[in-house]
Every structure is written in C-alpha cells, then in structure tokens.
C-alpha cells in the first residue's frame, strides 16, 4: 500500500536529513512491477541455482562441497574434521556453514540417504530413517571422499567440463562434474523450488550402467529388461506394477509402493521389522501403531518398541497369544506407514531450463552430454600430443648438427638474440627454438636427442588414433560403454529393495471392523465395573452388588469408548471399554484393581469418559476447602500409556471430582454444616495436573469440606441464601429445610 505523502510544511526542506540520517523519498510502484523486478529474479535463482539437480545428478550445493573436498586432497589419505571442510567450502558456497554441513550429512555413508554415498564419514551423522536422531556438530565428526568419487572427477583437469567464477570471482569451480555413470538416476534427490519441485528415486548402480550401455547400443531398447525398478538405501519390498513403472520410465511421473520387511521370532512370539520404506521414519510408524492400539484397532499387539542399535534398525512388536503374524502385518501395511508410496517427479535442469523427463529422455540427454565431455577430453589430449610432436620435430632439426646449435648459442652476444638466431640457423619456429634453448648442457648429446626423437613415431600413431576417435562417433560410444562397465564392476552392489509382484502377495480378507454399539456402564463404590447392553438391561432385574457396596457412577456410551479411572493414590488409569466383556445386571462385574493392575490397597474414586475431543474440565475439591480446575486435555497422550501418575495434587485429601463440559453452578457442603453456591466460571484453569488449586470455602480448623453437587441435584429451596459472587467465602449455615435428610424424610412421611 503506498505511503501517504506528508504535508508540505512537515516535509524536510533543502538538504536536511531525516532522523535516520537519510533523505526522505517516497516512490510509488505497481505491485506487478515489484514482482517482476524483485521476485522473479529470486524465483529463477532458486530454480536454477539451488533446488533442481542438473544432468550430472547434483545441485550446486552438492557440487561445491565435493569439489572443495577434492581440491583438499581428500580422495586419498586420512579424514579431516568436518568443520575444516565446511570452512573451506564457504569459499564457494555463500549460504552459511549450517547449510553446508546439512549437505555433507545427506551425502554421507553414515546418514544412509544414498545408495552410493560420496562422503566417507566417521562419527554421528544421524540416520535418514529417524526424524529425531540428530547428527553431531561438525567439530566432532570427520570425513573424506569415498572411492566412487574417482568416477565423478575423472579427467576434470582435461577440459571435460566448463569452469566458472565463484560468487566473489576469486577462484574457479566446475559448472558440472564429469561423472562417468548417470548419477542423476543413481542418487536419490529432492528439491522444492518456486512453483515447481523435483523428486528423484534412486536406481541400482549396476542396473543403471547396464541400461545406459544398452541405450548406447540401441536407443529403442526395452528399458525394463535392464532397469528393473527403483532401489532404495533403506531396503524394503517394492510392490511392482509394470504399468506404473512404464509410466514413470516414459513420463518421469508416478509413484511406487514400498513396504517394510519383517521376520517372525516364534520362540519369543514377536515380530522384528528391520527395513522400512525410504519415505517414512521409525517415529512416524511408532506413532501410528500407538494410535491404532489406543483406539482398539490393533488388539493383537501387546507392545511395540524401537530396539535400533549399532547393528541396525529394528522395531519389535510383541504379540498376544494366538495371533497370526502375517495377518497382523497385512493389517499394519494397510493402516500405517509400514507401507508407503514414493512419488517420482523427474524434474532436471537441461541447459539451465527445468524439464520433466522420462528415463529414456534422461539417458538421451546424459549420453549427449557425456559424449561431448569425452570428445573434449580426447581433443585436450590430442592438442597436448600435437604440441609435444611439434617440439620433437624441432629437436630433430638440431640432431642434424649439434655443434652448429652450440656455436650459435656461444657466439651470440645478447641473450635476447639466442632464440631468433636458432630460428634462422635451423628453420624452426619460436616455440621449438625456446624448447631447444632450455635444454640443459648435460643433455646436449646425441643419445639424449635420439631418445626424444624416437618418440615421434609413437606420437604420430597416437595422434592419428585420437583424430580417428573424434571422427568416429562409434568409438566415442565404445569409450563411454567401457567406462560404464568399469564403474559397474568396481562399485556395483546387489539390490537392497526386493521386488514383489502382485501375484506374489499373500491375500487376506479384510477383517470386519468391530461394530460400535450402545452400552450402559456401572461403577460401584468398591471398584466393580460392568458394561451392559440396553437389551440385556431391559431383560434383567436390579443391579447386584456386594453387601455394603453400592452404585457410584453410571454412564450411557458406546462399546469401545475410552474411559479413565482416577484412584485415591493420585493416579489415573486409561483404557477402552472394548477391553471389558459384556456383562449382566445379575453379576458383580470385573474388579478394577485386579483388571488394571493397580497398586496394593489402591481403589477407584471416579470415572470419566473423555470422548474423542477430551472436552471440558475436571474440578478437584480437597478437604482443606481448595478446588483445582484442570482441562481434560492435560490427560491426553499420543502413546498407549495405561497409567499416569500425578493425576492431581496430594497436598490435601481428595473430597470429590466433578467433570463439567460447560459452566454451571455447584453447591459445596462442609461438615459444620455450611453450604455455598458458586459458579464454576470463578475457577481459572491451571496448566499442571498437580496444582493445589485455589480456596473456595473458608472453614474452621475442626471442619472440612464434605461433598460437592450440581445445584440442580440438591434440595436447596432458598438458593440466594448460599450463593456467592466471589470465592473464597465462608458460606451460610445449612438450614433444615435445605438439607437432603430433611427433604427425604418429608417425602417418606
């Protein structure tokens, strides 16, 4: 929005600066002009220089890091501190040390994000399959280049690629790396630019090299014969659909399904998951399985835990007795990230322009680029050999009369005239004359000169061969194929991701979802619990309780609802009604301390149905007259925890608990007896479960708070006598006509 212009009398006059020491200036500019001049260059910079990989398979950040390590001599020798590498890379990469180190981590062997890692790491580099496992700081870790990097930098000094200035024009860096294999298809890569994105899955190095060689022989070859399917560093099982693969190979877009690998340990009745999909993490899997357990949709699981260690990834699932592990895993594949999809979007920069290409088109672009690199290398070698032959031809002229050459040099009075005199005396050019003039005195003998000149025949043959290579495209292709075969043989590894076809998958009938049905639940004062269907309740008589026991609470809900039981030990036990069998009114029900594994002597004092939203709040009233209001969400957990300690404060004995979903009036009674009526809006919610709360009722030392009830459930007739506008308050002495005993007695009369 344009700024308002100041009135003339308020604007600075002459050369008076404003408060910042700058001259005030207001320039109105159209938003479209601003976007075009400011945002579009930024967007293009992100696309071209940061987020989208080029035909060598690297983004600029990857290339700058690897080239710096190459120039540091880290292809051989011992590792160096990562902090040292990061500092050196900042000469090429202006985006800061954190971004450089993150790039190094992703390229490292320790992190495990690539099938062919380029950084040989030592120390904690985290793991790609964990979102919570952080890598160590660069001052603690060490790194060097892996042996396969020799294929990235082969003949980089032989004019195979262009070199450009770095960001401050103080040194040169390669625009691309002359990779001898199609790294664009081997290394997984992802990036988000402005208005576009790129997502490359990795393929097996051997398969890619074989496919590239087959393409060089026949551009119309069937890619699926050699390029079987994507291969992921985390392994797993790829569910192969030939139609989907064909679409990815042709268009560069599509998604493949990958699922985890597991083994069943019969002796311990557990499942061990040791490979997971590349696109997920162990934490995401654990969270989803815990959610299924919590909602009662995975009752077959007794426990699940992460046992990953130095030996590798391992998620362990303890099974209940009689569970079919294969059927359970089929269910988990459907409901959790143990089976996930990897979306492909082969967006690559070709000549500075982003293009989404299929595999065949990528191979076409790579072979064209690689052919040009090989031709440039051959031409570079050819020029070197031609220059050397030229010098040796001049040396042959000297061989005709060595004494004459010595006499010319000795009789020349001025040093500057030596080269011209040699040129005149032997009919050679300046370059040849300079070469002859630089020969040491000890080498001016017939034997040395004959040895040098014998090389001319070999050089002529080599030059002829190099010229033939440049003139014969078939020979250039042969060189590329030989390098591909060499890379595959030297660095190729077996597939990590197993390929499964649809007909190989075991099929299980979809298990029927457990039907939710209405139930009535009953909790007795002694801790007995019953879940009864409405039909059974209509057909039965009175509720049966132990002698001296009676009803504490009753609810109407559904058969698998979540329920929380608060105990007199400041603890709460969470479970689901699906864990209880349907009962009858004529039965005592299940004894909760035994069912829930409570501590010795622990008993239930209150039950709450939190619902899906955990709506409302709990009010805890204590004998000292205080009350604490805690939102029910404080008891919500993401894991399947059955027991929470510190459910409420233990500073004073608990009198009662109330669950309110909306504000209402409550009647509080003391043993004096006194009563007060207050509105729950006067109690502010607290953030911690163990809060002591605030005073609600003042009491004399020998009395304590006795009961709390909703106002509509009391027999108070003169409500204004006991109602207060603020707490704490002493309340009013309870009159006989307002007491419950008086009212019940009157009804009995």
Among 15, 140, 166, which Cα is nearest to 79's? Answer: 140
d(CA 720, CA 706): 21
Catalytic residue of the set 42, 101, 111, 140: 140
d(CA 4, CA 14): 20
- Residues 256-284 as b/e (b if ≥16 CB within 10 A, e otherwise) read bbbbbbbebeeeebbbbbbbbbbbbbbeb
On whether the CB atoms of residues 653 and 623 are closer than 8 A, the answer is: yes
- Count of alpha carbons within 13 angstroms of residue 297, beta-carbon side: 16
Helix (H, G, I), strand (E, B) or coil at 724: coil
Encoded tokens for 434: 């300079």
DSSP string, 164-199: EE-TTSSSEEESS---SS-HHHHS-EEEE-SS-EEE
DSSP string, 11-46: S--TT---TTSS--------HHHHIIIIIHHHHHHH
d(CA 114, CA 201): 10
d(CA 320, CA 318): 7
Q: Please give the DSSP secondary-structure letter assigned to residue 147.
A: G
Q: Is 57 left (phi over 0), alpha (psi -120 to 50) or beta?
A: left
Strands (E), 615-697: 617-622, 626-631, 643-645, 654-660, 665-670, 674-679, 694-695
d(CA 64, CA 175): 9
446-471 and 473-491 helices, crossing angle to 10°: 100
Among 430, 357, 436, which Cα is nearest to 401's? Answer: 436
140 as an active site residue: the answer is yes
Helix, strand, coil percentages in the chain from 3-state DSSP, rounded to 5? 35, 20, 40
Angle at 201 between CA 160 and CA 229, to 5 degrees: 105
Encoded tokens for 407: 């006499």
Encoded tokens for 616: 């409302």
On whether the CB atoms of residues 191 and 197 are closer than 8 A, the answer is: yes
- Count of alpha carbons within 13 angstroms of residue 540, beta-carbon side: 15
DSSP string, 244-273: HHHHHHHHSEEEEEEE-EEEEEGGGTEEEE
Alpha helices for 552-693 (secondary structure H):
592-595
Active site residues per annotation: 140
């Amino acid at each position: 929005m344009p700024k308002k212009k100041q009135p003339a009398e308020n604007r600075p006059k002459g050369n008076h600066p404003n408060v910042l020491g700058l001259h005030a200036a207001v320039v109105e500019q159209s938003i479209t002009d601003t976007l075009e001049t400011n945002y579009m260059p930024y967007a293009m910079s992100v696309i071209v220089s940061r987020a989208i990989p080029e035909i060598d398979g690297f983004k600029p950040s990857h290339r700058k890091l690897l080239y710096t390590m190459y120039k540091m001599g880290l292809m051989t020798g011992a590792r160096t501190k990562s902090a040292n590498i990061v500092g050196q890379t900042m000469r090429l990469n202006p985006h800061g040390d954190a971004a450089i180190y993150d790039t190094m981590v992703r390229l490292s062997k320790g992190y495990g994000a690539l099938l062919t890692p380029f950084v040989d790491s030592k120390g904690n580099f985290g793991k790609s399959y964990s979102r919570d496992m952080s890598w160590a700081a660069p001052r603690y870790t060490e790194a060097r280049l892996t042996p396969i990097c020799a294929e990235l930098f082969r003949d980089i000094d032989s004019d195979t690629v262009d070199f450009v200035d770095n960001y401050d024009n103080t040194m040169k860096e390669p625009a691309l790396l002359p990779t001898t294999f199609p790294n664009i298809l081997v290394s997984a890569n992802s990036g988000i630019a402005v208005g576009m994105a790129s997502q490359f899955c990795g393929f097996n190095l051997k398969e890619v090299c074989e496919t590239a060689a087959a393409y060089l022989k026949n551009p119309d070859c069937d890619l699926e014969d050699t390029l079987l399917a994507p291969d992921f560093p985390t392994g797993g099982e790829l569910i192969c659909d030939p139609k989907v693969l064909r679409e990815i190979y042709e268009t560069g877009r599509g998604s493949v399904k990958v699922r985890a690998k597991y083994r069943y340990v019969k002796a311990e009745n557990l499942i061990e998951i040791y490979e997971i999909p590349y696109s997920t993490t162990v934490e995401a899997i654990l969270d989803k399985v815990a959610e299924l357990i919590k909602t009662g949709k995975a009752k077959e699981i007794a426990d699940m835990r992460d046992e990953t260690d130095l030996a590798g990834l391992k998620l362990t699932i303890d099974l209940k007795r009689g569970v079919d592990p294969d059927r359970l895993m089929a269910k988990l594949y459907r409901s959790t990230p143990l089976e996930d999809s990897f979306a492909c979007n082969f967006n690559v920069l070709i000549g500075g322009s982003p293009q989404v290409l299929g595999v065949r088109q990528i191979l076409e672009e790579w072979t064209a680029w690689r052919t040009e690199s090989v031709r440039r290398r051959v031409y570079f070698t050819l020029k070197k050999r031609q220059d050397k032959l030229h010098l040796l031809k001049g040396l042959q002229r000297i061989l005709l009369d060595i004494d004459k050459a010595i006499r010319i040099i000795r009789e020349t009075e001025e040093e500057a005239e030596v080269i011209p005199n040699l040129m005149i005396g032997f009919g050679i050019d300046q370059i040849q004359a300079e070469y002859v003039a630089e020969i040491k005195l000890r080498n001016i003998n017939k034997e040395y000169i004959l040895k040098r000149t014998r090389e001319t025949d070999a050089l002529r043959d080599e030059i002829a061969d190099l010229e033939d290579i440049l003139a014969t495209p078939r020979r250039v292709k042969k060189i590329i194929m030989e390098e591909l075969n060499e890379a595959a043989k030297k660095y190729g590894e077996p597939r990590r991701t197993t390929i499964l076809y649809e007909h190989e998958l075991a099929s299980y009938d979809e298990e029927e979802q457990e039907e939710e049905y209405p139930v009535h639940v009953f909790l007795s004062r002694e801790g007995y619990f019953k879940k009864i269907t409405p039909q059974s309740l209509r057909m039965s008589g009175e509720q049966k309780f132990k002698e001296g026991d009676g009803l504490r609470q009753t609810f109407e809900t559904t058969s698998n609802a979540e329920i929380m039981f608060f105990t007199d030990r400041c603890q709460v036990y969470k479970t689901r009604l699906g864990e209880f069998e349907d009962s009858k009114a004529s039965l005592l029900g299940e004894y909760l301390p035994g069912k829930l594994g409570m501590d010795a002597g622990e008993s239930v004092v209150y039950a709450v149905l939190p619902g899906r939203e955990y709506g409302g709040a709990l009010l805890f009233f204590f004998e000292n007259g205080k009350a604490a209001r805690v939102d029910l969400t404080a008891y919500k957990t993401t894991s399947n925890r059955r027991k929470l300690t510190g459910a409420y404060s233990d500073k004073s004995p608990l009198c009662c608990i109330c669950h309110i979903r909306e504000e209402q009036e409550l009647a509080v009674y003391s043993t004096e007896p006194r009563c007060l009526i207050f509105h729950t809006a006067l109690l502010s919610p607290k953030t911690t479960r163990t809060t002591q709360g605030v005073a609600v009722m003042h009491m004399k030392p020998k009395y304590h708070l006795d009961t709390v009830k909703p106002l509509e459930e009391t027999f108070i007739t003169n409500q204004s006598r006991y109602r207060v506008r603020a707490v704490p308050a002493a309340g009013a002495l309870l009159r006989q006509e307002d007491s419950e005993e008086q009212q019940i007695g009157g009804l009995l009369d």
